[in-house]
Amino acid sequence: MKKIVLALGLLTTAALANAADPLNGTLWKTIDDETKQPKALVKFTEQKNGTLSATIQAILVPGEENACTKCEGTYKNKSLKGVTIVQNLKKSSGNSYEGGTILDPKNGKSYKLKGELAGNKLNLRGYIGVSLLGRDQTWVRAN
């Protein structure tokens, strides 16, 4: 009997360890660096390889839903709605994430990305090369 209870405990622990990431399926308001106003709603999705991506679900600023003119590849001249702006983000430890990239639709460039989940806020840092050469942005969980 003890072996069965131990085996069930180990299976439960393994199942919890493989549970979906806390960002998976969550919706976030991106906040403009300059105006400090919400710009878009972005949804995180866990990929088959365990990384996270985030796609723009809605543009909150009238007149800014237009084409991603400076984006390259499949998003060039497409509406910003549906653009995947975060790719390959991985949970590193605790509430920290790293290893991803983020697309800035204003200039069409991608940057390395790391972040930290802090309650209803997601603190992100996009950078080139080393983290010191970058900028911070805080997204707020949408209800």
The DSSP annotation for 28-58 comes to: EEEE-TTT-SEEEEEEEEE-TTS-EEEEEEE
Cα 83 to its chain centre, rounded Å, is 12
CATH entry, 21-141, from 2.60.40.3950, 3.30.460.10, 2.40.128.520, 2.60.410.10: 2.40.128.520
Closest CA to 122 of 22, 13, 48: 22
The pLDDT of residue 132: 79
**Rounded-to-integer distance, Cα 137 and Cα 118, Å:** 13
Domain boundaries, the chain: 21-141
Residue 59: strand pairing partners:
40
- Under-50 pLDDT residues of the chain: 5-8, 10-18
State the Cα angle at 72 between 70 and 73, rounded to 5°. 150
Tell me: the pLDDT tens digits for 36-72? 899 999 999 999 999 999 999 999 988 777 778 888 8
Residue 15's H or E segment, with its range, is helix 2-17
